[in-house]
Structure 1
């Protein structure tokens, strides 16, 4: 599977990507929001100009009564603020809606991660509510709030 956005390509993480992704997730700007994954299996590498600059993942609820998909992403700090995260999220969202048949997507950034919230808003995600003490910060052990955001298929920009 390879998904092409306007600027980025999403493809399955390959063997040589792990070292690069481990370095990215260790960057202070990324580590503030992401704990190091135990395994990159099932994740998609975010590639820009032939370089792996981050990773995205998705999960799917297939129960017909509650069908939906969720997205998560991280990018190297060197490429923050360039619209590449927005392109990656939009590309994955389009695939989940058009090819996988989801009518609703969710994403759940840390409530304090203003840059991520702006990025997801540009794709069409809307805040649903704050999830109190939602995720434990792996560096401090302190529980942090998360913001639940969702996107309906007809709201995708």
Structure 2
């Protein structure tokens, strides 16, 4: 029987940010970010157990600036060879917004997913009315594909549209 080697999680460096694999120590900071009044409308419903269940693990990364956690980025993978791609979600504390950090984190993760994980396409789906997120995704190289109507339920229970955006390997900056 051949032993399988599992690579330890590693950091992914952007131009300004560092993406570090999530650990239980990140949970309080993630809760603070996700419960912030400016973030909760986009990421509502995250309690302690949901953060532990969904944001910790091999696909979750803390976004760090100068050693301080300022947000999080996660990815999901479709591994069917005929539809292989990855999808991203990102949340950045409002104090860290407007500095290009989200764009940097998206570029770094997209580069990792294309070069190290073998994906040719990466998607993201910000709320259609989240103009700041859409601008950041566009700066990172993502292009609009189309509006997904009534795609996501908001914290008030209403469904809202999201903008599907993608970046293919040829688009990497």
Match of 2:56 in 1: 41
Q: Select 1:63's aligned residue among 62, 69, 80.
A: 80
RMSD, aligned CA: 1.0
**2:163 — aligned with what?**
147
C-alpha contact (below 8 Å) 2:24/2:56 kept by paired residues: no
The gaps in structure 2 that reach 5 residues or longer are 1-9
Aligned to 1:19, which of 28, 42, 48? 28
Structure 2 length normalisation: TM-score?
A: 0.87
Residues in 2 aligned to 1:7 and 1:127: alpha-carbon distance in whole angstroms: 25
For 1:24 and 1:54, the matched residues in 2 are separated by 7
Q: Deviations over 1:94-122 (max 9, x none)?
A: 00001111111110000000000010101
Q: Does 1:90 align with 2:80?
A: no
1:29 deviates by 1.2
Q: More displaced, 11-20 or 146-155?
A: 11-20
Matches of 2:23 and 2:84, distance apart in 1? 29
Deviation at 1:20, TM superposition (A): 1.1
Deviation (angstroms), 1:16: 1.7
In the TM superposition, what whole-angstrom CA distance separates every residue of 1:112-138 from its partner, at most 9, and x where no partner exists? 000000101011111111001000002
3-state SS of paired residue (1:82): coil
Q: SS at the partner of 2:107? A: helix
**How far is 1:144 from its partner?**
0.6
Larger-gyration structure (1/2): 2
> Residue 129 of structure 1 aligns with which residue?
146
Structure 1 residues without counterparts, runs of 5 or longer: none
